[in-house]
Amino acid sequence: MSHTTVVPLRQPDEADDPLTAVLRSGARRLLAQAIEAEAEAFLAAMKGVALPDGRERLVRHGHGPERQVQTGIGPVAVRRVKLRDRGTSAAAERIRFTSSILPRWARRTASLDALLPVLYLRGVSMGDFQEALGALLGKDAPNLSPSVVARLRGEWEADHARWQRRDLSARRYVYLWADGVYLQARMEPQAECMLVLIGATPEGRKELVGFQVGLRESTQSWRELLVDLKARGLAIAPELATGDGALGFWKALEEVWPTTRHQRCTVHKTANVLDKVPKSVQPAAKADLREVWMAPDRATAEAAIATFAEKYGAKYQKAAACLTKDRNALLTFYDFPAEHWDHLRTSNPIESVFATVRHRTVRTKGALSQDTARLMVFKLVMAAAKT
């Protein structure tokens, strides 16, 4: 008996689902009205273009054949408006009307295109797409065959390639978060992970800045990523970078952008310190560390660090040293606006994005290839940036 993670759902085109039938009927009417309005607007804009005898050059020419467009509520039947240019037979000079609502070869809505990478990211394998989409969108899902899905994956690859080559000369990031994310233990080779950089613009928007497969502790891996960003125009150094102290990122950052200040992730530091005390002591030590990170100002935080060192140093010297050795880098965030502190203290902007995909990929059958993992990172973070 074959195993599947797909849960059978009610088919959207079943007769005993009147609400979906009403929605689909309304969607069909609205879509037809929108397509007609778009064509009429194009005709109105071209009204001044006439033939030598004064007749209008561009006229309506009926409709294209009816076709099914897959949507979030199942297939909706639509027809494309056709316009005819009576002025010339030369293809290079012909006036063409292309609907932005219903492109000539469209078989899916844009929202459905967005659904496909989400399914892919959330553990539905390429071979299960047809069954999953059939359950969601109706019997057979005729325009979503495995070959179509494979072509879509090719489109994602092309999107990723364009993004990797994009010009960054007009971009500026005030803050930068860095982390090395292990998506799956079976990803080969085992020592490699995704090196991820997320930046915040002066307007406060977080964006995926760059990522590549590499070694988390490797200065060279991070250097390659940073040098590539700088070569594509990212010349202005970020004011602050946040990340785990174990990253090879910091040395590479000093070489590429020496003026960028360092902020150690307090979540990683908390875990490192607690690892050096017995479990029975960890709850109290964690509460004392929180007094450092949540202090209202730098002076209070400095005092809390001194108190922690005095309280635990005699018996747990390694724990106290782990905290005090990065004292300055742990408190850099106090030099920036207080409303930014919650964001700057930790690398959570990266961790929160990858929590779902890490959870799902653990359950994916077979090893996760680097190519697949790279696409997953790209699609997940780009989708998150739009929310």
Using one digit for the tens of pLDDT, what is the confidence trace for 254-275? 999 999 999 999 999 999 999 9
Rounded average pLDDT over 367-378:
64
Rounded average pLDDT over 127-153:
54
Rounded to whole angstroms, the Cα distance separating 133 from 145 reads 10
Angle among Cα 292, 205, 154 to the nearest 5 degrees reads: 120
Confidence band, pLDDT 50/70/90 cuts, at residue 107: low
Q: Note the pLDDT of residue 303.
A: 96
Strand 67-71 and strand 74-78: the pairing is antiparallel
Confidence band, pLDDT 50/70/90 cuts, at residue 355: low
45-49, 69-73, 96-100 — which one is most confidently predicted on average?
45-49
> Which residues touch 77 (CB under 8 Å, ≥6 apart)?
28, 66, 67, 68, 69
Q: Is the pLDDT of residue 122 over 70?
A: no
Token duo for residue 9? 């759902």
**Calculated CA dihedral for residues 269, 275, 278, 282, nearest 10 degrees:** 30
Q: pTM score, two decimals? A: 0.64
Place of tokens 């899902």: 141
Confidence band, pLDDT 50/70/90 cuts, at residue 240: very high
pLDDT, one tens digit per residue, over 142-193 is 455 566 566 666 777 888 889 989 999 999 999 999 998 776 544 444 556 7
Q: Is the pLDDT of residue 217 over 80?
A: yes
Q: Note the pLDDT of residue 104.
A: 67
Give the 3-state secondary structure of residue 44. helix
Please tell me the least confidently modeled range out of 71-80, 154-163, 277-286, 297-306: 71-80
Q: Which helix (H) or strand (E) holds 7?
A: none
Rounded to whole angstroms, the Cα distance separating 50 from 57 reads 5
Average pLDDT of the residues of the chain:
77
Within 10 angstroms of residue 325's Cβ, the number of other Cβ atoms is 11
pLDDT, one tens digit per residue, over 6-44 is 434 334 344 344 545 555 565 566 567 767 877 888 888
Would you say 179 and 214 are in contact if contact means Cβ atoms under 8 Å apart? no
Rounded average pLDDT over 68-82:
73
